[in-house]
Structure 1
Amino acid sequence: MVLAVKGTEQEELQSRDRAPQSATVSPTTGFFFTSPYRSLSTQGCFAKITQPAADGDNLQGAFQQGVQQAFAQARQAGVTNPVLCGAIPFDTRQPSALFIPQQTQWFERQAFMASVKPTLAALPTIVRQSELPKQTQFMQMVADAVQVTGGEQLEKVVLSRLLDIETSKQIDPHALMMRIIAQNPQGFHFHVPLNEGALVGASPELLLRMCGSQFHSNPLAGSARREADPLQDRQAGERLLVSSKDRHEHQIVTAGMRQVLHGRCRHLHIPAVPELLSTPTLWHLSTPIDGEVADRAENALSLACLLHPTPALCGTPMLAARELIAQLEPFERGLFGGIVGWCDAEGNGEWVVTIRCGTVKANQVRLFAGAGIVPDSSPQAEWHETGTKLSTMLRAFGLQG
């Protein structure tokens, strides 16, 4: 456990209960996260936790014990209701980017959205952008994955690509976040401060929300591009709902989640048929899941780590999919494809998957998008699907997807 404690003066610490609710909420002063459930903004850092979360689902494991130790130290220093927030990478064997803030302000998202006047002024000019991998290589990756998923060892794998952008001058993080929020009003908006720069985005996918012993999840798998014409748009959604390829991809995800959850639940409800969920750019197949844990000692982070990475972000079986991703993708995902959110000392919390996102550092931006590959996948179609997903973030920089 790497535990770096800062600001040990008790008078410097404020719990969430003492946070000034009337203060202006800032999306870039620290960790920022919006949700229909609970939204928060933080300032300062009491303790950083970089311990990998590979055993995070084990309540007696090193990661969970380290988190509880950090909570205890925060309470002793005067934080009466400490919160852990930040991000966990795609590969949980890598260091986490988590911390306990000095100050936490809870707010209601709808009121925040109504009060904010986003600046849509042009951001700095994009002077250079490059794709990693290029289209030919990505399509070959997909073709190779299709061959593997046609065998007995792998049902599905998720492959991704990056878009690197350089702008003419440093990007204003506040203006960028306002654009992201305005253009994706229903997403889970997040800003995670990193050692250098920040991770920002508007995820559409809830991995795990927990309140008391009750939890909820909403996996997405299978998607289609939305259309400007209302009739064509509705037809695109209807085609997705009956697509055998996308329904198969989605069923793999829900079956995988059932397998890992059922042994830890007193009650688990997973609908047999998916429904449609829409974002400004895509239709998704969606299955709302709810349940009740069998052990009250479970917390939002233990269940999130149990689920992560889901077949929607990695594939199934998970270990075989993760190995193939490492072989095919010409980069390390880092925080991309991971999870971002928060958990309090009572075990309540919320975690979303780190998609529709990017990292920002001065005038350098890196965007991320992935697609699920199954035997019926088309390399050309998967290239276009990832391009549509990238358009969500590209628009935040004044570009059309």
Structure 2
Amino acid sequence: MSSPAPVRPRPEHLPGDLLAAYLPGSFFHRSPRGTLLADGVHTVVPGGTGCPGDAAAATLAAAREAGHPDPVVVGAIGFAPDAPRSLLVPALVRRAAPATTPEPPVRVPEPPGGAWSVRHEPAPQVYADGVRRALELIDAGGLEKVVLARALELTSQDPVSVPDLLTRLVLADPGAYAFAADVTAAGDPAPRTLVGASPELLVSREGDTVVANPLAGSRPRSGDAAENEARIAELRASAKDRAEHAMVADQVAGVLRRFCTEVDAPDGPDVIGTPTMWHLSSRITGRLADPSVSALHLAHALHPTPAVCGVPVPAARDAIRAIEPADRRYYSGMTGWVDADGDGEWVLAIRGAEVCERTVRLFAGAGVVAGSDPEAEVAETRAKFRTLLRAIAVEAVA
């Protein structure tokens, strides 16, 4: 006979305490909803190409049956259908509620010193040529939008401290979805960690309430207040950016309508900011119809959104495979958590990097639509790199 479902533990920690307690190999997720830190391995979720929500649900049920007091699946899933997955039920989960009062000050770690070697995949002008190829495909018909990415691989003289990097990312943008997940693969010379500060919520579920917050249409942030006001106004008025955003928001709302009895989507986007970018943003909410549909089921149904892939998805995937020279792996995939009740939160794995010993490998992408300017897309990726480059004190290499 099944044992009764345990009462979910209340958060007992401060967000800063969990940030300070993070060590490589742990899983860390911080958002406006709260902070989760997970350690150890109770059960590994089986891999495969099917819906990860089904595998996670079965693994969580087995863990609860085995007496786990707080089973949660945590981890990351790569961009492509055949990309790697790193999902597990940790042995220990600690939580912190959203910060409502000032936290004790957290020490800001010094960024790593010394010189870095930098490798572009591809070089900026080769990336611009790829944008031109994508525009030719769009002009030919059958493809409305494709998100093209490029990578930077930076190598330091010394091993990179992931806890210090994560702390700097959190303190630079406390409102971001900060994450760190172990994605070590066979053959890696040292542990590999996916770490970043994403601005984009793919989907969250709490009870029957579902929230998604797609972003599309961007401008770099300036250090000048008047220039920022001008860029925000330009972004709001841009027919190209608003059309690109509508592609994403309409697709997200359409997917949620398959699972929800009601969906509330705004008539037009708002503008939100990060320390490096301005984005058109739509907060879309829904009321879940079937409680067996978990946050991870929803995330799998939504991914990839046009914000990281394109429209239509099959043609955009083909263009990405043909044009991008670097394997995205976890970039523009998703990272997050889901519990045994189906609640959870998944964010797009953007504004992040894979860190392995002395190497930091980061990606940035831009949406290409009819009317896109190749040099402007290079500039957009350059601005998006700044989130990670600032955190490791590397400037002007993108």
TM-score where L is the length of structure 1: 0.90
- The equivalent of 2:390 in structure 1 is 395
- The equivalent of 1:120 in structure 2 is 109
Match of 1:361 among 356, 364, 377: 356
CA distance in 2, matches of 1:136, 1:211: 45
- Is 1:17 the counterpart of 2:9 in the alignment? yes
CA distance in 2, matches of 1:20, 1:251: 41
Q: Secondary structure at the match of 1:105?
A: strand
CA distance in 1, matches of 2:8, 2:113: 36
Q: 1:127 to 1:177 in 2, by over 3 A?
A: same
| Code of the aligned partner of 1:87 | A
CA distance in 2, matches of 1:64, 1:243: 38
Match of 1:282 among 263, 277, 284: 277
- The equivalent of 1:11 in structure 2 is none
- The equivalent of 2:39 in structure 1 is 43
Q: Secondary structure at the match of 1:320?
A: helix
Q: Relative to structure 2, which stretch is displaced further, 98-107 or 28-37?
A: 28-37
| Code of the aligned partner of 1:281 | T
- The equivalent of 2:156 in structure 1 is 167
- Is 1:298 the counterpart of 2:306 in the alignment? no
- The equivalent of 1:148 in structure 2 is 137
* Displacement after TM superposition at 1:27 (Å): 2.9
CA distance in 1, matches of 2:59, 2:151: 35
**Runs (5+) with no aligned partner, structure 2:** 1-5, 185-190
Deviations 1:23-61 (A, max 9, x none): 941233500000111320011111122513x442xxxxx
* Displacement after TM superposition at 1:128 (Å): 0.4
Residues 83 and 342 in structure 1, CA contact (< 8 A), matched pair in contact too: yes
| Code of the aligned partner of 2:256 | L
Spell out the pairing of 1:218-233 with structure 2 (5 A cutoff): 218-233=213-228
| Percent identity of paired positions between Structure 1 and Structure 2 | 35
Q: 1:157 to 1:206 in 2, by over 3 A?
A: same
Deviations 1:249-289 (A, max 9, x none): 10111122233222222001111210000001111000010
CA distance in 2, matches of 1:122, 1:64: 38
CA distance in 2, matches of 1:15, 1:122: 41
Q: Relative to structure 2, which stretch is displaced further, 106-115 or 376-385?
A: 106-115
- The equivalent of 2:201 in structure 1 is 206
| Code of the aligned partner of 1:44 | G
* Displacement after TM superposition at 1:227 (Å): 1.5
- Is 1:69 the counterpart of 2:61 in the alignment? no
CA distance in 1, matches of 2:62, 2:102: 35
- The equivalent of 1:5 in structure 2 is none
Q: Secondary structure at the match of 2:31?
A: coil
Q: Relative to structure 2, which stretch is displaced further, 43-52 or 156-165?
A: 43-52
* Displacement after TM superposition at 1:152 (Å): 2.9
Q: Secondary structure at the match of 1:34?
A: strand
* Displacement after TM superposition at 1:115 (Å): 2.6
Residues 117 and 156 in structure 2, CA contact (< 8 A), matched pair in contact too: yes
Deviations 1:202-234 (A, max 9, x none): 000001010111100100000001111211111
How many residues in Structure 1 have an aligned counterpart in Structure 2?
381
Q: Relative to structure 2, which stretch is displaced further, 16-25 or 86-95?
A: 16-25
Q: 1:78 to 1:113 in 2, by over 3 A?
A: farther
Residues 15 and 103 in structure 1, CA contact (< 8 A), matched pair in contact too: no
- Is 1:86 the counterpart of 2:75 in the alignment? yes
Q: 1:234 to 1:171 in 2, by over 3 A?
A: same
**Runs (5+) with no aligned partner, structure 1:** 1-13, 57-62
- The equivalent of 2:93 in structure 1 is 104
Q: Secondary structure at the match of 1:150?
A: helix
| Code of the aligned partner of 1:136 | Q
CA distance in 1, matches of 2:8, 2:22: 16
* Displacement after TM superposition at 1:362 (Å): 0.8
Match of 1:239 among 226, 234, 242: 234
| Code of the aligned partner of 1:298 | V
TM-score where L is the length of structure 2: 0.91
Q: Relative to structure 2, which stretch is displaced further, 140-149 or 110-119?
A: 110-119
CA distance in 2, matches of 1:64, 1:41: 21
| Code of the aligned partner of 1:154 | L
